[in-house]
Amino acid sequence: MCKGLAALPHTCLERAKEIKTKLGTLLQKPDSTIDFIIPYPEKPEKPPKAQKPSPEEALQWRDSLEKLLQNPYGLASFRSFLRSEFSEENAEFWVACEDYKKTKSPVKMAEKAKKIYEEFIQTEAPKEVNIDHFTKAVTMKNLVEPSSTSFDVAQKRIFALMEKDSLPRFVRSEFYHELIK
């Protein structure tokens, strides 16, 4: 990369300016009403009409956050629990990232990336997730040219946080004990 500005002053500075310009474009305020379209509902969602899992299936969630999040009923239950603890932003961010990864259109991808960044990543975002400075920096760098993997590092950090912190509390909760009866 740019080792020693004396060796390649114009190349490094030009690349830095290019990155700054692209990032600035991504993060600028909306110019048109199309930017105000919010892909994630602000109102609480109704849980999907999924079949309640068997107690055996719900018991598997103790050991696998992945299985819990992949089950529509499990995800809705987990989100309700997190909402009761005022920590729903982590699950919301994870869901937003999963939706983002399915986006094919580069234009839609850029719009969703901007929305996710503004809602969950930027400092003092309305639903700011707790990620370290390095993860935030990597994510911002990835957003210069959005791709399906732009949020992977941050999503993995939040998954690990939920697995280590939220899942054990969920498993001890009344929400969960009702499911395994």
Q: What is the pLDDT along the chain (181 residues), one digit of tens a residue?
A: 454 444 445 565 566 556 555 555 455 544 433 343 334 434 334 444 678 899 999 999 999 999 999 999 999 999 999 999 999 999 999 999 999 999 999 999 999 999 999 999 999 999 999 999 999 999 999 999 999 999 999 999 999 999 999 999 999 999 899 888 8
Range of the domain at 157: 55-178
CATH number of the domain bearing residue 86: 1.10.167.10
Query: Residue 32 domain-assigned?
Result: no
5 inside domain: no
SS3 145: coil
Number of independent structural domains in the chain: 1
CA distance readout (Å), 79 to 51, 57, 83, 148, 175: 17, 18, 6, 24, 10
For residue 114, give the amino acid letter: K
- Whole-angstrom Cα distance, residue 56 to residue 129? 32
Tell me whether residue 19 is in a domain.
no
Contacting residues for 168 by C-beta, under 8 A, at least 6 apart: none
In a domain, 31, yes or no: no
SS (H, E, C) 40-70: CCCCCCCCCCCCCCCHHHHHHCCCCHHHHHH
CA gyration radius, the chain: 19
Is residue 1 included in any domain, yes or no? no
- pTM, two decimals, is 0.71
Q: How far, in Å, CA of 119 to CA of 110, rounded?
A: 14
37 domain-assigned: no
In this structure, is residue 20 part of a structural domain?
Answer: no
Is 96 part of a structural domain of the chain? yes
d(CA 167, CA 172): 9
